[in-house]
Structure 1
């Protein structure tokens, strides 16, 4: 049995702004990598005895209330996700390209939305509370970077204005951070350091999960 170590709580010690429930929020889950260091697709790693990383992430965004969930994957794992309900699966055939290409593919397949979270599969510790905390600062002209002690983490939140520019960008093989640096960002302090976690190899996985028979 596998148990996540040190489950965490968020202490909301600041005022949370009222969120306009009429705003459509989606999530783009980036899972096209081939996980060389992990030697197995990270989205299928066990989060607990009943749930994989991708199932945990999807469940969290559904509980938050996302209108649409889009997952960008490589062709080797696409067939294993065919039973997921109400999920849009996008296949990235150009794995040699930078991550921006996955973002662009996913956003182009997404229905019109006001905001979109960008979620990696190597951090399954996201919670609906964290998402609400981030979305409370929904800004129409800036993208939000959650941070802990000044260090940026995940997921970031994109407004429609930036979403449209990313979708229509004519470049494909370009660095995502470089593209995002052309827009204005807002760093939002989150009282939880697990927004910084990236599980990239077996050692990282063992660090945050207990293995018990």
Structure 2
């Protein structure tokens, strides 16, 4: 079974003042780099979907497979479909949809979700303390159904698919670091850009930002 993670990073991020894909998470890594590493550890191929500030994101992430969303301004579903199309070309059996501003999800959680995928029509969604979270996990058949949806928002497009809810003990599935206030509350500083790739290893060896695991803001919406 080939699993492909689609990290949604095409939005404008008006409130954060920086592209979310480039903001520092921990150990000098950006939100996008941190998620690419986590999904990779869970055995997934990774596709980052980019739109706004695409050139800067590409320069910062030379090792991440990135897909352009030419219609990112049309809303989240336009970028989601760009990622889904690329995943289908990669012959994905299972696709995991995840917003870039939710970088605290654990690799162990992702592995458990993948083990829970059943038949060809299956799909599931994690929940933490009753709140729906991410990633949304879809079989290839459900991906093809989602591609044909006319909905503008993902939650509307998922209606009728009867995704199974899977309770997890990982608050990272509902953490959304999408405002400067949330970032500062968690990390003790205003949102800042991750260092360039060449400086990342040096920074990680000296000081690392704390791994956030609790007290976070919950969200059920993909990145804006």
CA distance, structure 2, for counterparts of residue 100 and residue 180 of structure 1: 11
What whole-Å deviation, never above 9, does each CA across 1:54-88 have from its counterpart, x for those lacking one?
1111111111111x211111152334324523x43
Aligned residue for 2:142, secondary structure, equals helix
CA distance, structure 2, for counterparts of residue 75 and residue 45 of structure 1: 14
Is structure 2 residue 143 aligned with structure 1 residue 163? yes
CA distance, structure 2, for counterparts of residue 94 and residue 198 of structure 1: 24
72-81 or 130-139: bigger deviation = 72-81
2:164 is matched with: 186
Q: 1:42 to 1:75 in 2, by over 3 A?
A: closer
Report if aligned partners of 2:54, 2:68 keep a CA contact under 8 Å in 1: no
Gaps of 5+ in 2: 190-206, 210-224
Across the two proteins, how many residue pairs are aligned to each other?
187
1:8 is matched with: none
Over 3 Å off, 4+ runs:
210-213
The correspondence of residues 1-213 of structure 1 with structure 2, limited to 5 A, is: 23-66=1-44, 68-82=45-59, 83-85=61-63, 87-110=64-87, 111-140=90-119, 141-167=121-147, 169=148, 171=150, 174-211=152-189
What TM-score results when the alignment is normalised by the length of structure 1? 0.80
CA distance, structure 2, for counterparts of residue 48 and residue 60 of structure 1: 12
Tell me which protein shows more helix as a share of its residues: 2
What whole-Å deviation, never above 9, does each CA across 1:148-197 have from its counterpart, x for those lacking one?
12110111111111012223x164x6221111112121000001223211
